[in-house]
Amino acid sequence: MLPDTLNEVFALGLGFALAGALASGYQAWRNRPASFGLLSGGAGMQAFAAVPFLIFAAPFIIMRNTVRGKQLEARPFQFVMIATVIAGFWSLMSGTFFLMVLQAVGLLQS
C-alpha cells in the first residue's frame, strides 16, 4: 500500500474514532445522544459553543441517524449510500485536520 493511501486510511479511521469518542462522551455526560438539535437553541452562546463539537462529532451523528433511519423507516439504499459517503468524506477531513494538529504540536512525526 502506498504511504499516501495508508495516511488517508489512517485519517479516515481517526476521524470516525474521534467522532465516536466525542459523541459517546457527550452522551455519557448529558444522558442523551448528541444531535444537530444543539444548534436549534437560537443565536446564544450554547449554540455557538456547539459548533466546534458538531464539526468533529458529525460523522458519528450522521451514521447513527442513517442506520436508525434504515432500520425504523426502511429508507432506500441510495439514501443510505449518499449519507455514508458524506460521513466518510467529513470523517476524512476531520481526521486529516486532527493529524495536522498533532504534527504541528510535535506529537506525531510525518
C-alpha cell at 20: 465516536
DSSP conformational letter for 38: G
Q: Do 62 and 90 form a contact (C-beta atoms < 8 A)?
A: yes
Tell me the H-state helices in 1-110. 3-30, 45-73, 77-105
C-alpha cell at 24: 459517546
**What is the reported pTM?**
0.86
Per-residue pLDDT of the chain (110 residues; tens, 9 = 90+): 788 899 899 999 999 999 999 999 999 999 999 988 888 866 778 778 888 999 999 999 999 999 988 888 888 889 989 999 999 999 999 999 999 999 999 898 86
Q: Going by C-beta distance under 8 Å and a sequence separation of 6 or more, which residues neighbour residue 5? A: none
Domain extents for the chain? 3-105
With 0-12 / 13-18 / 19 or more C-beta atoms within 10 angstroms meaning exposed / middle / buried, residue 39 is middle
User: What is the b/e burial string over 65-102, where b = at least 16 CB atoms within 10 angstroms of the residue's CB?
Assistant: ebeeeeeeeeeeeeeeeebeeebbebbbebbbbbbeee
